[in-house]
């Protein structure tokens, strides 16, 4: 009898807690996941969606660790620990073949959304600006620009300082060319967003595979 009451009480508590907080921060989802996943991951047959956040995964301590790995603080009203991130686990039949994940980034003239398609080792398969408000949007959205990010991974980005936009040690990111020198701020924003995206994915999906390669300046 006591057990029954306990079970009933517990179920009631779960129900009461079921309603999630209103007005949470807005994340970064693919506009048309069915089409976008198929386009960004040719050969895929489906996907699963996971919703994660820094808050849920590790709170303030994790935020500090991510900032350290990024080499920059999270800034402003909207880059906060409660931002929900949508991770698309890409499937071929029932087998997982990679991930797609996007982040919001503040650009010079508006919001930038950078999506990366990653293989199971965290290597970039393709780079996609879902949204880009920039005077150089045409040049930056040109496939040739995105192609420069292919085959890079988080190790490559550790060698690059996103604040000064300079290489800490010579590496592959240094060779990513800005197609529009007038839009330096948006170019830097794209690099920062890519690094942030890779760090978050390392935390969310790759069990900090690249953490051992991180050596603070």
Partner 1 sequence: MLSIYKVSYKNLLRKKTRSILTIIGVGLSAWVLASLMGFNQGYEASLNRDIDNMGFQVLVTAKGCPYEAATLMLKGGTGLRYMKESITNLVLVNPEVDKVTPMLMHAVFDPNKGESGGMSAYLGVDPETFPKMKSFLEFKQGKWFTDSKALEVVMGYEAAELEQREAGDILLIPDKNIELKVVGILKRTGTQDDGTIFVPIHALQKLFGKTGELTGLGIKVKKDANIAKFEEKLYELPDVQVVSLAQVKQTIMNLVSTAKVMVFSIAMIAILIAMVGVINTILMSVFERFQEIGILKSIGAMPWDIFKLIWIETFILCILGGIAGTGMTFGLSKTTEFLIRKLLPYTPTGSLIKLDFNLIAMTMLTVLIIGLVSGIYPAWKAARVRPLESIRSELN
Binding site residues, partner 1, CB under 8 A: 1, 4-5, 8, 12, 15-16, 18-19, 22-23, 25-26, 31-32, 35-36, 39, 76-79, 104-112, 129-135, 137, 141
Encoding tokens for residue 128?
């996609």
Question: 26 vs 50, which CB is nearer to partner 1?
Answer: 26
Nearest approach, Cβ of residue 13 and partner 1 (Å): 9
Encoding tokens for residue 134?
């920039």
Residues 24/82, Cβ–Cβ less than 8 Å: yes
Return the SS3 of 161: strand
Nearest approach, Cβ of residue 78 and partner 1 (Å): 5
Q: Report the C-alpha gap between 182 and 3 in whole angstroms.
A: 69
Residues 150/131, Cβ–Cβ less than 8 Å: no
Question: 136 vs 154, which CB is nearer to partner 1?
Answer: 136
Question: 18 vs 144, which CB is nearer to partner 1?
Answer: 18
Nearest approach, Cβ of residue 117 and partner 1 (Å): 14
Q: Please name which of 122, 119, 115, 121 lies closest in space to residue 146, comparing C-alpha atoms.
A: 115
């Amino acid at each position: 009898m006591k057990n029954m009451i306990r079970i009933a009480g517990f179920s009631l508590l779960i129900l009461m807690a079921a309603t999630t907080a209103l007005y949470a921060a807005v994340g970064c989802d693919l506009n048309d996941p069915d089409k976008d996943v198929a386009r960004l991951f040719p050969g895929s047959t489906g996907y699963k969606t996971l919703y994660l956040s820094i808050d849920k995964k590790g709170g303030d301590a994790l935020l500090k660790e991510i900032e350290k790995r990024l080499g920059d603080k999270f800034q402003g009203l909207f880059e906060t620990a409660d931002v929900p991130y949508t991770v698309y686990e890409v499937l071929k039949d029932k087998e997982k073949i990679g991930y797609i994940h996007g982040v919001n980034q503040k650009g010079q003239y508006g919001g930038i959304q950078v999506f990366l398609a990653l293989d199971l080792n965290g290597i970039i398969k393709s780079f996609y600006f879902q949204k880009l408000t920039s005077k150089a949007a045409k040049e930056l959205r040109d496939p040739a620009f995105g192609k420069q990010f292919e085959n890079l991974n988080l190790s490559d980005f550790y060698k690059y300082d996103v604040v000064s936009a300079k290489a800490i040690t010579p590496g592959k990111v240094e060779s990513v060319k800005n197609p529009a020198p007038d839009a330096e701020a948006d170019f830097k924003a794209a690099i920062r967003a890519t690094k942030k995206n890779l760090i978050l994915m390392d935390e969310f999906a790759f069990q900090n595979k690249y953490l051992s390669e991180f050596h603070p300046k």
